[in-house]
Homo-oligomer: A and B are copies of this chain.
Amino acid sequence: MQPLPDPFLSSAEEVLRAACLPPSKSLLPSAAPAGSSPPASSVADPGVPAQDRAVSCLPPGILSGPPTREDPRAYRGWRSDSFSRVTRVVRDIPVAVHLDVDLLFPASYCQLRAASLVHDCLVQLSNPNVAAMKEDVLYHFSLSTSTHDFPAMFGDVKFVCVGGSPSRMNTFIRYVAAELGLAHPGEEYPNICAGTDRYAMYKVGPVLSVSHGMGIPSIAIMLHELIKLLYHARCSNVTIIRIGTSGGIGLEPGSVVITQQAVDACFKPEFEQIVLGKRVVRSTNLDEQLVQELMQCSTNLNEFTTVVGNTMCTLDFYEGQGRLDGALCCYTEKDKQAYLHAAHAAGIRNIEMESSVFAAMCGACGLRAAVVCVTLLDRLQGDQINSPHEVLAEYQQRPQRLVGHFIKKSLGRA
């Protein structure tokens, strides 16, 4: 099995191809041997016309003088001993290539890393008002631009993983830290949102782990503030993945579903919202390439069944998902089975409560997004989640293991 291409390196290749450079003229090596020193001279690639180096989409002063907010050297968490940058124009698109050496962690190797390959894929808002605000209070995170240095705290974030439960997201950050070789014995990962109990947030290296509670409104509040956080921090090339739990349809419990399309309770790939009293409908498409990359990771791991399928996102766990065991229920087992079988026929393989708004909001803000959920039961067989605690706990680790492997591979550490 071929390893997945590194997303940074492969997008670099794409840009170079667009610039009509022969592949052999690639700025970025396909792999960095452990302990190698940075081939800084390769940045001054003879295939790149000299005059292009003068064109920059970034503020002046980046390449010399003390670190600025735009300078990777200023980022807490990613300390660069040496780095070079080339900017040029490819078919009218300003492009910047950074090469830096990550020396942050006491790892056993020094890895050459393409920190960000840019048309800078900076996180964008779909709201012009925020740029004009003097202060932005992210109330439900208990963070504010006037009291926290967002670029320093979060500027190096490349992967954001979100899930319902705060304790699960804490477990995940520990797991990822260990997988990436960034863990130290006895190390604690403080909750960055300690000033509130609405959400919990943890960070290690380029990975941010955030809880979102249950349901569309709860994850939507979190996403509004998270996307603004990434914007204020000037993050670029961010991938965001929801790792969650769900009810399966026609799948063995414990199977993992990578969402192809998030659909509503009427099986439509839409997210409908009332804005100023009017219905607004947004698309719930997700990144197709990311789905394939994640599926490939699961094949590599070969630890549990993983399928790609549609995910139904509902506003209620009981009546809204056709359960017969809520406080309210006015239909029969037969009605429920007819509904679930119709869902299965529409390509739906699992049901949860956040994917549609997650896909819609990330899509609107240009974030590369995916949803990876384990199924805790097969809804065709029942409604109650009554497997033993240990079994459910192991199930809940599966999306973490899959996504942990994906991150490791993306960083060239798998």
What residues of B have a CB within 8 angstroms of the CB of A365 in the complex? 327-328
Size range of the interface on A? Answer: 35 or more
Question: Which residues does A use to contact B, with CB under 8 Å?
Answer: 125-130, 133, 135-137, 139-140, 144, 164-167, 197-198, 213-218, 220-221, 223-225, 227-228, 231, 264-267, 273-277, 280, 314-320, 322, 324-331, 335-336, 338-339, 342, 353, 361, 364-365, 384-386
List the number of copies, as a whole number.
2
A154–B215 Cα distance when bound, in Å, is 28
B216 A214 Cβ-Cβ under 8 A? no
A335–B280 Cα distance when bound, in Å, is 15
A316 B220 Cβ-Cβ under 8 A? yes
Given known pairs A197-B165, A328-B365, A335-B276, the reply for A213 and B224 (CB within 8 Å) is: no
B217 A221 Cβ-Cβ under 8 A? no
A59–chain B nearest beta-carbon distance, Å: 24
Contact of A137 among B228, B336, B338, B385 (CB under 8 A): B385
What residues of B have a CB within 8 angstroms of the CB of A266 in the complex? 274, 277
A274 B328 Cβ-Cβ under 8 A? no
A290–B273 Cα distance when bound, in Å, is 33
A357–chain B nearest beta-carbon distance, Å: 8
A215 to chain B: closest residue by CB: B217
Given known pairs A326-B127, A326-B224, the reply for A320 and B274 (CB within 8 Å) is: yes
A324 B275 Cβ-Cβ under 8 A? no
A220–chain B nearest beta-carbon distance, Å: 5
A285–chain B nearest beta-carbon distance, Å: 16
Contact of A221 among B139, B167, B214 (CB under 8 A): B214
A318–B276 Cα distance when bound, in Å, is 11
B220 A218 Cβ-Cβ under 8 A? no
Given known pairs A126-B329, A126-B330, A384-B139, the reply for A322 and B276 (CB within 8 Å) is: yes
What residues of B have a CB within 8 angstroms of the CB of A364 in the complex? 328
Contact of A325 among B129, B314, B319, B385 (CB under 8 A): B129
A125–B273 Cα distance when bound, in Å, is 31
A273 B316 Cβ-Cβ under 8 A? yes
A227 B327 Cβ-Cβ under 8 A? yes
* Residue from A218, A273, A314 whose CB has the most chain B CB atoms within 10 Å: A218
B218 A276 Cβ-Cβ under 8 A? no
A127 B328 Cβ-Cβ under 8 A? yes
* Residue from A125, A135, A137, A325 whose CB has the most chain B CB atoms within 10 Å: A325
A327 to chain B: closest residue by CB: B227
B327 A125 Cβ-Cβ under 8 A? yes
What residues of B have a CB within 8 angstroms of the CB of A326 in the complex? 127, 224, 228
B216 A213 Cβ-Cβ under 8 A? no
A324–B127 Cα distance when bound, in Å, is 8
Query: Can you give 10 contacting A-B residue pairs, CB < 8 Å?
Result: A127-B329, A129-B325, A198-B214, A215-B221, A224-B318, A273-B319, A273-B320, A275-B319, A275-B322, A280-B319
A364 to chain B: closest residue by CB: B328
A280–B329 Cα distance when bound, in Å, is 12
What residues of B have a CB within 8 angstroms of the CB of A327 in the complex? 125-127, 130, 223-225, 227-228, 231, 361, 365
A144 to chain B: closest residue by CB: B386
Query: A127-B328, A137-B384, A275-B322 given. 5 additional CB < 8 A pairs?
Result: A135-B384, A213-B214, A224-B318, A277-B339, A328-B364
